[in-house]
Structure 1
Amino acid sequence: MSRPHRIVFANEKGGTGKSTTAVHVAVALAYRGANVAAFDLDHRQRTMCRYFENRAETMQRRGIDLPTARCHVVEGMNEAAMERFVEERAAGADFVVIDTPGRDDPLARHAATTADTLVTPMNDSFVDFDLIGQVEGESFKVRKLSFYAELIWEARIKRSRTSIEQNRAQMDWVVVRNRTGYTEARNMGRINQALAEMSKRVGFRVAKGLSERVIYRELFPSGLTLLDKGHLGDLGTSHLVARQELRGLVASLRLPDNTVEIVPEGAQ
Structure 2
Amino acid sequence: MAHIIVVGNEKGGAGKSTVSMHVATALARMGHKTSVLDLDLRQRTFGRYVDNRKSFLASAELDLPSPEMHELPEIEASSLQPGENIYDHRLSAAVAELEPTSDFILIDCPGSHTRLSQVAHSLADTLITPLNDSFIDFDLLARTDAMGDKITGPSVYSEMVWNARQLRAQAGLAPIDWIVVRNRMGAQRMVNKDKMERAIANLSKRIGFRIAPGFNERVIFRELFPRGLTLLDLKDIGVKQLNISNVAARQELRDLMKALDLPGVDINF
Same fold (TM over 0.5): yes
- Could you list the per-position Cα deviations for residues 234-263 of structure 1 after superposition, in whole angstroms to 9, with x for gaps in the alignment? 4211011101101110110010116796x9
Cross-structure match for 1:108: 117
CA distance in 2, matches of 1:65, 1:38: 19
Cross-structure match for 1:39: 37
Residue 109 and residue 135 in structure 1: after superposition, are their counterparts in 2 closer, same or farther (change >3 A)?
Answer: same
Cross-structure match for 1:170: 175
The Cα of 1:74 is off from its aligned counterpart by 3.7
The answer to whether 1:192 aligns with 2:201 is no
The answer to whether 1:63 aligns with 2:82 is no
Cross-structure match for 1:222: 227
Matched position secondary structure for 1:227: helix
CA distance in 1, matches of 2:165, 2:52: 36
RMSD: 2.0
CA distance in 2, matches of 1:232, 1:204: 39
> Runs of 5+ in structure 1 lacking a partner?
264-268
Q: Is the 8 A contact 1:116 1:172 kept in 2?
A: yes
Cross-structure match for 2:254: 247
Residue 156 and residue 232 in structure 1: after superposition, are their counterparts in 2 closer, same or farther (change >3 A)?
Answer: farther
The Cα of 1:100 is off from its aligned counterpart by 0.6
Cross-structure match for 2:142: 133
Q: Report runs of 4+ in structure 1 exceeding 3 Å deviation.
A: 73-77, 160-163, 258-261
- Give the TM-score taking structure 2 as reference length: 0.89
Q: Is the 8 A contact 1:33 1:260 kept in 2?
A: no
Q: Is the 8 A contact 2:12 2:111 kept in 1?
A: yes
Cross-structure match for 2:78: none
The Cα of 1:19 is off from its aligned counterpart by 0.5
- Paired letter, 1:207: A
The Cα of 1:183 is off from its aligned counterpart by 7.5
CA distance in 2, matches of 1:44, 1:65: 29
Identity %: 45
The Cα of 1:160 is off from its aligned counterpart by 3.2
The answer to whether 1:123 aligns with 2:132 is yes
CA distance in 2, matches of 1:110, 1:35: 23
The Cα of 1:85 is off from its aligned counterpart by 2.1
- Paired letter, 1:195: I
- Paired letter, 1:244: Q
Q: Is the 8 A contact 2:73 2:94 kept in 1?
A: no
Cross-structure match for 1:153: 162
The answer to whether 1:23 aligns with 2:21 is yes
Residue 183 and residue 153 in structure 1: after superposition, are their counterparts in 2 closer, same or farther (change >3 A)?
Answer: farther
- Give the TM-score taking structure 1 as reference length: 0.89
- Paired letter, 1:20: T
Moved more, 182-191 or 5-14: 182-191
Residue 38 and residue 190 in structure 1: after superposition, are their counterparts in 2 closer, same or farther (change >3 A)?
Answer: same
CA distance in 2, matches of 1:222, 1:260: 25
Residue 122 and residue 85 in structure 1: after superposition, are their counterparts in 2 closer, same or farther (change >3 A)?
Answer: same
The Cα of 1:139 is off from its aligned counterpart by 5.3
> Runs of 5+ in structure 2 lacking a partner?
75-85
CA distance in 2, matches of 1:241, 1:182: 12
CA distance in 2, matches of 1:258, 1:205: 18
Matched position secondary structure for 1:104: coil
Matched position secondary structure for 2:231: coil
The Cα of 1:143 is off from its aligned counterpart by 0.3
Moved more, 116-125 or 71-80: 71-80
CA distance in 2, matches of 1:71, 1:115: 18
The Cα of 1:140 is off from its aligned counterpart by 2.1
- Paired letter, 1:152: V
